[in-house]
Structure 1
Amino acid sequence: MNSKILIKTLIGLIVFGSFSCKKFLDQDPISTVTDATSWSSSSDVNSQIAGCYSGIRSAFNAACSFYSYGDVPTDLWGDMTANSDYNYIYQMNWGITVSSLNTYDPKLKLRVWTPFYSSIQQSNRCLYFINTMSNDKFDGATEADEIAQKKAFEAEARFCRAFNYFYMARVWGNVPLDTSYQEDISSITSDPRVDQSQILNAAIYDLNIAKANMDYRDASSTDKNVRADKGACFALLAHIYAWKGAYDSCVMACDSVISNGGYSLVSGSNYATIYNGQSDEGIFEIAQNSTSEALNAQTEASIAYFTLAAPYIATNSVPIWKLSTGKLFELYNDTTDARFKKEYTYVNSGSTKYYYCTKYSNISTVTASGVNYYLSENNIIVFRLADIYLLRAEAYASKSTPDFSNALTDLNTIRTRAGISNYTLAELSTNGQNSLLDSVTAERGRELLLEGSRYYDLVRNERITGVSKFPYMTQAQFTAGKYYWPIDPSLMTLNSGLVQTTFWQQLLTY
């Protein structure tokens, strides 16, 4: 099936176990060549589950995709011309012709879903082989303990599969659906894209099984936040329901995270600890906060490379991706906001003051053979508690009859932590639903800037308000589906069952 491997030349982007994650991902997943003989113990399964998470990380580090999809094509930027490839992405010129041989080109990488399907196939592999193993292959003092561990491993594989499908659905809309294990993943058949609703329902199905076999977080675990738990399942469900517009279900999922997950907001004086990773606020993260996990901060896989300047990245006199000063001060109209004070700085270049975000400034220097390497040791923060509070506020705001009071409470929880004045009910309710939703979206912008969220927040906002906040997409283009990415024509060459994303059918051809 094409979902397992679509472009052989790109499979090298996915090397399971090429990173570590404390004690967990330090284990290299066993080669798929020996699938038939490599599932004999709990330790074997643990190594293979590591591959599910490593696959997600590989997908996100290809062309810095977590941020390229979630932050670049938005209203945050003033100038991206320092890097023409990402300037095309910012301006939503996603149909630029790129040779399929140019596997290094971010415009190609971002149109190819192979990394996500490679991760999905690892989940499929785990689920298949775990179910062939007898209970006594798992650890536990009793058979009930052994069964519980077996089901917990299955739950993690289901979470990772659901996460990949949800993420692809937000990027491409309709995608092929595959939940089967294939011994030979090099064969390519003609699997069509299926409706996004089917993809999201499959993800919900996986998560409902997964959460039944997971516990809420163990705060003492060295793997907290970087392995899925029940709270991560509910957080993912909350985002799926928000994307579907099922806001009553979104509220219930958020309630489960907030009330039962064991998470807490860090203090306003300690924002940096969120991005270093594994804070009390984190729910699900991609681990890269140690030397063995970290990215080279001077390469295009790292968000630090694009968004930092000297002294954090000595070779960058100014940031490569330049924030819009106007948008920054529109969001932070109160500059006493602890988020602004703690997370932003500036560098002068001539008469111009360039502001930039310091969320990903945990840079360490490693010297080898007399050469200094600068490593970015920040986790990718996928879900955290503030996000869920604000997503619940959005859900209250987006109901057919907006719940102004509860939206106010959640907004003010986050504003209080930031040290800025609370909204009043009169402020939020005077101008109706669209104004309330804009207030929520703005608060998410302040809180989650450069956390892979802004693009999807603006899409959900526009679906309800009907007002475009994208600098390079009109309301008519939005309605026509421009906000979903095209797939690269090379995928259709290999799989005749695929069709191009609707908006891009006349703009990106073979």
Structure 2
Amino acid sequence: MSHFNIAKKVFWVLGAGILLGTTFSCNKQLDKAPTNQSSDENNWKTFDDVRAGLIGMYGLTRAAIADNNGHWLWGELRNGDFTSYNRPDLRAIISGNLTAGYPVIESVSNWRRFYAAINACNLFIENSAKALQDTRYTELNNRVDVAQARVIRAFLYFYMVRIWGDVPLITQSHEGSFREVARTSQERVLGFAQSEIAEAAPALPYSYGNDDPAMPGTVYYTSNNTFWRNTIFNKVSAYAVLAHITAWQGNYLETVAYTNFVLNNYQRIGVNYLSIDQLTGATGVFNNRGEGLTSNAQMLAFAFQSDRGEATVDGHIEQLTLAQPLVSKLRPDMYITKDSLASMFAPSGGFDMRFGLDTVGLNQGLPTLYRAKYITNYSDQIPIFSKIKAINGGVVSQNDFKVFTSAILFTRLEEITLLKAEALAALGSNNTEAYSLLNTIRSLRGLSTLSASGNSNLLDEIFKERRRELAGEGWRWYDLVRYNKIKRNDPAFNKLISEGGIYWPVAAEVMSRNSLIVQNPYWQD
């Protein structure tokens, strides 16, 4: 089958999911609406049918986290470092007013797109083996594909639990069934997600189309490793998700084990630590698949590749953060204030390459200079957060239609390194190694090393470094939750945790279509 015909099949998979997810809401089990795909025999007969289904799962997953820039609205804004002067809906999220009547808030409170993607995974798991009648499709190929589907589904459930807490756990497609399903405890959902990845990950290769022992051969679905790298789950990225599931559960012993696997094997998938230019450059790690770098760089990301017609307006932080002179927009929708920048990058030893003021020049009465890797136009009243700036074509747009190609980067090597340091510090079992991991990242960014003899608070320093290094990547809120679950020294945040206020309310549309869905108690009238 030609790439054109495969593309048409993928378009059908994605289009059906998005259309039904948007118009009717995604799943009859959840909100009394049609399912997003058909499991008809005709859709699972050939090698090409399964390839289309595989790509469709990833496309629907990307749509779920990118829609309305949800990845940043959920993970970056609440109690975070960004503020907004012209978007009352963003200000409502920042202040924690998640029941404010704004369309964007109602939209990102709705889990329908996640269940469209989950249903696609369920259908794939149940039906892909039917294509074994096509001699081009092998049992090994199917085993690897089903392992990916299981990992994607588990990742989606983990992602949802961080947002809503308890969510319905659905592991079978129920096309044509209108059965309603209640919410499942988050403990059970996370347990399912962890066991699914633990069982599926060993079947995954480190790389595809690269003669990996788990998937021999120089092509995967007729394409080589260059085509597939940084686009689909591999063994290392699957274990990275396991590390985060266990950290969210507070099972830090397991987090150490899973991060150990990642840190012992990351070179097998071609990633490495990033220089400041690789992190912030227009052709760096956030651009497409990080292909401007000598290494793959992206451990787990969801790319919008311009060469495959995937550049979009929505689903990129640049839509919210960039403005003149980088794009024609006069002011950004959100930005980090100078006070917040001063708090984030308060002098902590060394010369922080990401952002900092030239205090030496200031003390000598010279014009104040600043390091601009994260920030553009610091002298303006509203500085531009420009750490991520993958503009399609690499030039300033001269109209209001701005297209970007940045990937949604879920995790990278620096993030996993800091996660292991967090786990060790929380356990108090090996502070020497925790300091070493923290210092690995600090040294990369020009900061001096820390040690226990310096009377620094190790856990605080790790989370401060996560705040700096991962700014704009969708981690801030989740980091605050984990930090406060460990420290328990903030009465207001303790109240949020104990009363379930750390989770988002469920959209009214979801509850109106499924009588078994009950609102999170914290958000009940």
The answer to whether the superposition gives a TM-score over 0.5 is yes
CA distance in 2 between partners of 1:362 and 1:391 (Å):
26
Give deviations 1:11-60, integer Å, cap 9, x for gaps: 5798xxxxxxxxxxxxxxxx934732111222211110111111111112
Maintained 8 Å contact 1:190/1:495? yes
Aligned to 1:275: 286
Q: 1:474 to 1:208 in 2, by over 3 A?
A: closer
Q: 1:86 to 1:56 in 2, by over 3 A?
A: same
Amino acid of the structure 1 residue aligned with 2:274: V
CA distance in 2 between partners of 1:38 and 1:288 (Å):
26
- Residue ranges of structure 1 left out of the alignment (5+ in a row): 15-30, 99-104, 141-145
Q: How does 1:15-94 map to 2 (within 5 A)?
A: 32-33=37-38, 35-77=40-82, 79-94=83-98
Maintained 8 Å contact 2:328/2:400? no
Maintained 8 Å contact 2:44/2:131? yes
Amino acid of the structure 1 residue aligned with 2:93: I
Match of 1:289 among 285, 290, 305: 305
Q: How does 1:315-464 map to 2 (within 5 A)?
A: 315-316=329-330, 318-334=331-347, 336-340=351-355, 341=371, 343-347=373-377, 352-364=380-392, 373-399=401-427, 401-427=428-454, 430=455, 435-464=457-486
Match of 2:134 among 131, 137, 140: 137
Q: Tell me, what secondary structure is at the counterpart of 2:403?
A: strand
Q: 1:342 to 1:282 in 2, by over 3 A?
A: farther
Amino acid of the structure 1 residue aligned with 2:519: Q
Provide the aligned C-alpha RMSD in A.
2.7
Aligned to 1:190: 180
Maintained 8 Å contact 1:172/1:484? yes
Amino acid of the structure 2 residue aligned with 1:209: E
- Residue ranges of structure 2 left out of the alignment (5+ in a row): 1-15, 27-35, 211-224, 291-295, 356-370
Give deviations 1:202-247, integer Å, cap 9, x for gaps: 1112212221211113584322121000011100000000000011
CA distance in 2 between partners of 1:361 and 1:389 (Å):
24
Q: How does 1:216-295 map to 2 (within 5 A)?
A: 216-217=206-207, 220-262=225-267, 263-271=271-279, 272=281, 273-279=284-290, 280-290=296-306, 292-295=309-312
User: Aligned pairs, how many?
Assistant: 455
Aligned to 2:124: 126
Q: Tell me, what secondary structure is at the counterpart of 1:261?
A: helix
Match of 2:192 among 184, 190, 202: 202
Aligned to 1:312: 326
CA distance in 2 between partners of 1:179 and 1:151 (Å):
18
Maintained 8 Å contact 1:163/1:203? yes
Match of 2:488 among 454, 466, 470: 466
Amino acid of the structure 2 residue aligned with 1:289: Q
Maintained 8 Å contact 2:37/2:120? no
Q: Tell me, what secondary structure is at the counterpart of 2:382?
A: strand
Report the CA distance between 1:502 and its aligned residue: 1.8
Q: 1:217 to 1:366 in 2, by over 3 A?
A: closer
Report the CA distance between 1:302 and its aligned residue: 3.4
CA distance in 2 between partners of 1:169 and 1:286 (Å):
19
Maintained 8 Å contact 2:64/2:113? yes
User: Taking structure 2 as the reference length, what is the TM-score of the superposition?
Assistant: 0.81
Report the CA distance between 1:320 and its aligned residue: 1.8
CA distance in 2 between partners of 1:124 and 1:501 (Å):
26
CA distance in 2 between partners of 1:138 and 1:357 (Å):
52
Amino acid of the structure 1 residue aligned with 2:251: A
Amino acid of the structure 2 residue aligned with 1:153: D
Maintained 8 Å contact 1:281/1:386? no
Aligned to 1:143: none
Amino acid of the structure 1 residue aligned with 2:415: D
Maintained 8 Å contact 2:81/2:340? yes
CA distance in 2 between partners of 1:48 and 1:34 (Å):
11
| Fraction of identical pairs, as percent | 27
Amino acid of the structure 1 residue aligned with 2:112: T
Maintained 8 Å contact 1:177/1:194? yes
Amino acid of the structure 1 residue aligned with 2:489: V
Greater CA drift, 453-462 or 35-44: 35-44
Amino acid of the structure 2 residue aligned with 1:276: N
CA distance in 2 between partners of 1:327 and 1:477 (Å):
23
Q: Tell me, what secondary structure is at the counterpart of 1:67?
A: helix
